[in-house]
């Protein structure tokens, strides 16, 4: 698996009401349901002062694996990397 870094693209993300985990990503006109949360990384202690704390999610969708970033200060979701050649689980 190799993520391809992309320029951060702002997306709309629907999250679980109680846990805050992403459930669906809307990227342009396409809605992608999230099938699996692969990794979670919280950067609350060490972060650039300009951007503030953030949380990184690696998620599986039917089309690709995405690296989502939530910036807490600005309350924005962005896609920072994509892996369209992911292996499907057997």
Q: CA–CA separation, 59 vs 74, rounded Å?
A: 21
Q: What is the pLDDT of residue 4?
A: 78
Of 82, 75, 42, the closest CA to residue 59 belongs to 82
Q: What is the pLDDT of residue 36?
A: 94
Q: Tell me, what DSSP letter sits at residue 51?
A: T
Q: What is the pLDDT of residue 31?
A: 94
pLDDT along the chain (90 residues), means of 10: 77 92 92 93 82 90 91 91 66
Q: What is the pLDDT of residue 19?
A: 87
Q: What is the pLDDT of residue 90?
A: 39
Q: What is the pLDDT of residue 44?
A: 82
């Amino acid at each position: 698996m190799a993520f391809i870094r992309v320029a951060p693209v702002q997306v709309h993300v629907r999250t679980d009401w109680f846990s805050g985990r992403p459930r669906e990503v809307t990227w342009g006109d396409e809605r992608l349901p999230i099938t699996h949360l692969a990794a979670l990384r919280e950067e609350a202690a060490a972060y650039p002062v300009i951007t503030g704390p953030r949380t990184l999610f690696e998620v599986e969708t039917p089309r690709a694996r995405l690296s989502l970033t939530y910036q807490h200060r600005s309350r924005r979701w962005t896609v920072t990397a994509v892996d369209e050649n992911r292996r499907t689980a057997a």
